[in-house]
Amino acid sequence: MRRLLLWIVLLPLSVAIVLFAVANRGLVTVSLDPFSQAAPAYAVALPLFLVIFAALILGVLVGGTVVWFGKLRWRLAAQRAERETARLKAEADERARAEAYGTMRSLSVPSGRAAAE
């Protein structure tokens, strides 16, 4: 079922991407020189679909990085909370063990008294 759903979504998406690339294969000049439009220092002619796909991929990477750094504070807080929880649980287990040992010790007869009687 999952594989069929994957094909139902990916096949039309793939066809749309190929059709988009074929329809936008004309060359455009990409320049990184904002001062000289006539003779830019660095310019390259690329098909339009490559420029659009590169911009899309770059946008996803930059957006993902910004979100990752934005959630970093929450991940660090969660790690601190997990460490604190583990420490408190260990402390509670130690107290429970100490109480159980103390209770068992008070229920047993001391060895010195048993010999005197």
Contact indicator for 24, 47 with CB cutoff of 8 Å: yes
CA distance 35 to 42: 11
Share of the chain above pLDDT 70, in %: 87
Q: Identify the H or E element spanning 28.
A: strand 27-31
Q: pTM score, two decimals?
A: 0.60
Per the CB < 8 A criterion, the answer to whether 43 and 29 are in contact is: yes
Instruction: Determine which of 27-31, 63-67, 113-117 has the lowest per-residue pLDDT on average.
Output: 113-117
Task: Give the closest residue to 25 by CA, choosing from 46, 9, 42, 41.
Answer: 46
Rg of the chain over Cα atoms, rounded to whole angstroms, equals: 34
